[in-house]
Amino acid sequence: MRIMELKGKSGNSKILIGEPIAHLASLCTSEKNVIVTDRNVRKFHGDKFPDFPVLEVGLGEGNKTLPAVQLLYEKFLEMELERGSMVIGIGGGIVCDLAGFAASTYLRGMRLGLVPTTLIAQADAAIGGKNGVNLGGYKNLVGAIRQPEFVLCDFSLLSTLPEREVRCGFAEVIKHAAIADASLFSYLEENLHEAMGLKRSAMEKVIHDSILVKSSIVAKDEYEKGERRKLNFGHTIGHAVEKCCGIPHGEAIAIGMAAEARLSVSRKFLSGKDAERLARLLANVGLPANVKAEPAKLIDAIRKDKKRESEGVKMALLEGIGKCSVQDVPLGEIEAVLNDAH
C-alpha cells in the first residue's frame, strides 16, 4: 500500500493506493457517517461496507443531475446530518461526483471520503477535488472544487468490472501518460496485457503513476487557472462526442485525444510518428479513434463547453509523448480538424 497526499487550498487529501476497503471504517471518524453508492456497487461489494446508513443514486450519466443531488439533500435533512458528518462515496465517477457535490454544498460543506470502484475513478475521477453534475446534457456545468479527506483505492474492487469499463478506464490513464509521463506511456505499450488483465503489480504501477501526474498538476493549480487545463487533453472534443453520440466517457475521450493529437500535428507541435504511437495504443486497448457525428453538431456542443472563451477554447495540445502545453484554439480550427476526419 502506498500513501500520497494532495495539498490544495480547499483542503488536503490523503490518497491510499492499494488499501483494502476493510480498513474504511477506521478512516470514518465522524459521529454520523453515510454511504452514497449505486445499486450495482452495492450488489457486488455491499458486504464489504462498514455498518453505516446507505443511500443509493441512479445508474448512468443521465442521473448525474441537480434533481439527483436534491434527493440526497432531502435524505441528509431526514438523517439530521451536521457539518461534522461524513459522506462516503463508494462507486465510479458518477457516484463520486454526486456524493462529492452534495457533501461540498449541503450545510456549506460536510466531510467527504471517496472509495472509487472503477479504473476511471481510481486513476482519475476521484482525484483532485472536482465534483459536479450535468445540466441540459452538457458535462459538469454545475459543480465545486473541494478535496475529499481521503481516497481509498482498493484494486480488488476492479475485479467485477465489465471489459468495456476497463477499456474506458485506460483512456484516462493514457491521457495522463501522454501529457506528462513518457515512461508510463512506454510501460503501457510494453505491458498492456498485464495491465488490462488488472494484475496487481501492473495496477500498482499504472494507478500510482496516473495519480501522481494528476495530483502534481492539481497541487500547482487547483482551480484550473492554467496548469490544470493540461488535464483536459482529449476532453474538449471528447465531451462534445459524449453529448452528441451518447457513448461512454472513456470512449469519447479516446476519440477526443486522437482528434486533438491531429490538431497538435497540424500546428507542428507534435510529430506524426508520436500521433501514430498514441493512435496505436488506443487501438490496442480497444478504444475508438473516430466517430460518425456531424462536425457542426460537435462544434455546437463545444460552444457550450465550460472551457470556451469567446470564439475559442483553451486546449491542451501535445508537444511530444509526455509533454503538452495549453493553447488558445479558435473554433474554426477545431472544426477543420473534425471535417478532415469526417
Same domain, 202 and 144: no
Q: Which of 228, 229, 243, 262 does the annotation list as catalytic?
A: 228
Same domain, 142 and 45: yes
Reported as a pLDDT band with limits 50, 70 and 90, residue 238 is very high
111 annotated active-site: no
164 annotated active-site: no
Instruction: Quote the domain boundaries for residue 288.
Output: 163-341
Q: What is the number of domains present in the chain?
A: 2
Nearest of 130, 45, 138, 52 to residue 91 by alpha carbon: 45
Q: Which of 239, 242, 243, 262 does the annotation list as catalytic?
A: 239
Q: Which of 130, 139, 167, 229 does the annotation list as catalytic?
A: 130
Q: Which of 108, 225, 268, 273 does the annotation list as catalytic?
A: 108
Angstrom CA distances, 35 to 11, 24, 53, 87, 111, stand at 21, 11, 6, 6, 12
CA end-to-end span of the chain? 46
**Res. 308: pLDDT tops 70:** no
Q: Tell me the pLDDT tens digit for each residue of 212-236.
A: 999 999 999 999 889 999 999 999 9
Q: Which of 139, 232, 243, 260 does the annotation list as catalytic?
A: 232
130 annotated active-site: yes
108 annotated active-site: yes
d(CA 177, CA 328): 22
Q: Tell me the pLDDT tens digit for each residue of 76-90.
A: 999 999 999 999 999
23 annotated active-site: no
249 annotated active-site: yes
Q: Which of 45, 167, 176, 214 does the annotation list as catalytic?
A: 214
**Mean pLDDT (whole number) for 308-317:** 82
193 annotated active-site: no
In the predicted model, what is the mean pLDDT of the chain?
95
Same domain, 147 and 231: no
Same domain, 171 and 146: no
**Res. 307: pLDDT tops 70:** no
d(CA 254, CA 201): 25
Same domain, 231 and 305: yes
